[in-house]
Amino acid sequence: MTYKKPVQKFSGKIKEITLGENLKLGGESVLPFYSFDGDTGNKPAIGLEIWDVYPEDWPTTIMEELGDKAKKPAEWAKFCEEKYKPDFICLRFVGANQDMGDRTPEECAQIAKEVAEAVKLPLVIAGCDSNEKNGKIFTKVAEALADKNYAFLSAVEANYKEVGAAVGLAYGNIVVAESSVDLNLAKQLNILLTQLGVKWEKMLMNPGTSAVGYGFEYVITTMDRIRLAALDQNDTTLQLPMVMPISFDTWKVKESVATEQDAPEWGDREERGIAMEISTAVGVLAAGANAVVLRHPRSLEVVREFINNLI
């Protein structure tokens, strides 16, 4: 008797959301990379992180390649687009933090506009460490980039009304709903945003992440539960593509920060950071992430090859 390989079919499907003009995320109806079971949707996207201020402590090889371009976000973004060819650019407003210059929302909006004019790729806009200030930053930036269909990372419980109303309703961009590694909290925030009036096609989700070794198993199991609820239980409130800014976490843990003098047995600092970033990225991609934000071009190269080999 000929063996017939079983196929796992689900009743649910992840919504297809378009970032910018034509970068499509989601659309899958099977578990990540399970092409033998059905439609895996659009290929996961990779974005490169840039800052609005000069990054003093970034890896040496990145800074050597960037040179003075790292002092001008628009030139930095264009350089990344042309040299590394990511799927999108993630502009992060570190300079809006109080201890990093306390840049105003108006200044952030001007920088975002210059970056948007310099590149053809879609943007993901990330704020500073203050949820309260992010509400004001996102409002001004979304106004400056109205109807661009860019994603804003993120709306959280503390500011979802302000961010949702400005980004998703008034200015025609995409709200990323961020929760703290909990299926029920993710579901609740998605529902609250839709009750506010934000349409599903103007939403993405970030269920929360961490670097490998820092509660990462809990991140993965939460993502698994979200995907199974969306696909197997056909829970429409969780059928959103997930975008994960993993570089925000991986480059601040001790494995990436400790110098060779502090931990000579760990080897080269930059190589450690790259390893942390790659291992975290492939972990969340295998658990259902539809887009990841990375910092190091070498990480982008390896993760891109990982995706291409599995699709």
Backbone angles phi, psi at 61, to 5 degrees: -65, -35
Q: Cα(306)–Cα(255) distance, rounded to whole angstroms?
A: 23
Among 53, 92, 46, smallest CA distance to 70 is for 53
The answer to whether the beta carbons of residues 152 and 193 sit under 8 Å apart is no
Q: Cα(192)–Cα(164) distance, rounded to whole angstroms?
A: 10
311 residues of the chain, pLDDT tens digit each: 788 888 899 999 999 999 999 999 999 999 999 999 999 999 999 999 999 999 999 999 999 999 999 999 999 999 999 999 999 999 999 999 999 999 999 999 999 999 999 999 999 999 999 999 999 999 999 999 999 999 999 999 999 999 999 999 999 999 999 999 999 999 999 999 999 999 999 999 999 999 999 999 999 999 999 999 999 999 999 999 999 999 999 999 999 999 999 999 999 999 999 999 999 999 999 999 999 999 999 999 999 999 999 98
Question: What's the predicted TM-score (pTM) here?
Answer: 0.96
Per-residue model confidence (pLDDT) at position 3: 86
Contacts for 63-67 with beta carbons within 8 Å, 24 or more apart? 65/297
Q: Cα(288)–Cα(310) distance, rounded to whole angstroms?
A: 13
Per-residue model confidence (pLDDT) at position 275: 98
Which CATH code, of 3.40.50.2300, 1.25.10.10, 3.20.20.20, 3.40.50.300, is assigned to 16-309?
3.20.20.20
Q: Give strand pairing partners of 91.
A: 50, 125
Q: Pull the structure tokens for residue 86.
A: 């990511």
Q: Which residues contact 125 (CB under 8 A, 6 or more apart)?
A: 90, 91, 93, 112, 138, 141, 145, 150, 151, 152, 153
Q: Cα(154)–Cα(205) distance, rounded to whole angstroms?
A: 9
